[in-house]
Structures are given as C-alpha cells and as structure tokens.
Amino acid sequence: MTGTLGDARLALEVFRGTQSLPGTAFEAARARMECPTPRVAVGQALRGIASAAADISDGLVGDLGHILRRSGVGASIDAERALGLLAARSGPEHLGLDDDTVLGLVLAGGDDYELVFTAPAAAREAVQAASRNSNTPVTRIGRIEKQPGLRLLDARGQLMERRDESFDHFK
C-alpha cells in the first residue's frame, strides 16, 4: 500500500471528542483529512506491475476486502507493519494512543485515499522502482493467500481476533 493510514479518521475522532491530540499532531491529521494527496503518479507507475488496486476511501479492511472478494482469494495482514502506518504516531510525541486504537484507525478509518494493491513477489523490485520514481512511500503489509477472508496476524504469526469494519459515512 502507499503512504499512511488512519490520520483522517483520527482527526474526525478529535472533532467528535473521542480523542485528543496536541496542536501540531492535530493539524497534521486534519490536513490529511481535508487535503488528501492523490496517488496518481504511483498508480500509473504500477501499471503492468500490480495485479489489482483500489483507493482506500472507506478503510483498508473494506477496500482490500473488495479486491479479495472479486479475486476469490484471501490475505493476511501483519499487525506490526499496520501499527507503523499511522503518520500522527510517528511524530515526536507518542500521542498516548494504544495499539488497539491505532489498529482500529489504520484498518477501518476512512478518507485516506491511499492505494492498496497486490503484486507478485517477483515484482518486488519493480514496485520499489515505482515507489522511487513517483516519490511515494510504499509498504508491504501482508500477503495474498488462497484461503478466502482477511486475517490479521500478530508478531508471532498468530491470528488476532478483531471485528474492524469499513468506515460508514452514516454512523
């Protein structure tokens, strides 16, 4: 996937009053919500490399889920890599957000407009070149598997029980 995830949802939760952030962290998260970065250049660079792609507008779980269902496959996501995707958490302040909250923001937050895509393992160098050439960070967060469904794995490779759903604009 490209970029970072969860910051737009974090800003929304600050507006809703369920989270609080120091000023600079809030302004950065708010900017991600109000002015997302279109990933057109990397999307074009991935043509012929990626086997499937979608923008992450309603949350990683839902938008990756669309790819998986249409492709008749499943996937496992590495929770440790997912935790590193929240840009607001990588700043000088830790923000006091626990891992469970961060996973919820990353997996189910909306309005990130990053790209989630699949590519064969043999295309790893080509994906990295597309990332460099488009000046867009790309992170491998998991792997596609034959068994349908989406699974989240902890650092030991054990299945984590979660019930994250896509962002619902009407909740």
Residue scoring higher pLDDT (93 or 54): 54
For 99-155, write each residue's pLDDT tens digit: 898 999 999 998 999 999 999 999 999 999 999 999 999 999 999 999 999 999 999
Question: CA 62, CA 12: separation in Å to the nearest integer?
Answer: 18
User: Is pLDDT of 91 > 60?
Assistant: no
The reported pLDDT for the residue numbered 87 is 85
Inter-residue contact 36 to 113 (CB < 8 Å): yes
Residue scoring higher pLDDT (22 or 40): 40
Q: How far is CA 92 from the centre of its chain?
A: 21
Band (93; pLDDT cuts 50, 70, 90): low
- pTM over 0.85? The answer is yes
For residues 4-38, b (16+ Cβ closer than 10 Å) or e, as one string? Answer: bbbbbbbbbbbeeeebebeeebbebbbebbeebee
User: Is pLDDT of 94 > 90?
Assistant: no
Complete domains list, the chain, with CATH: 7-160 (3.90.650.10)
The reported pLDDT for the residue numbered 97 is 84
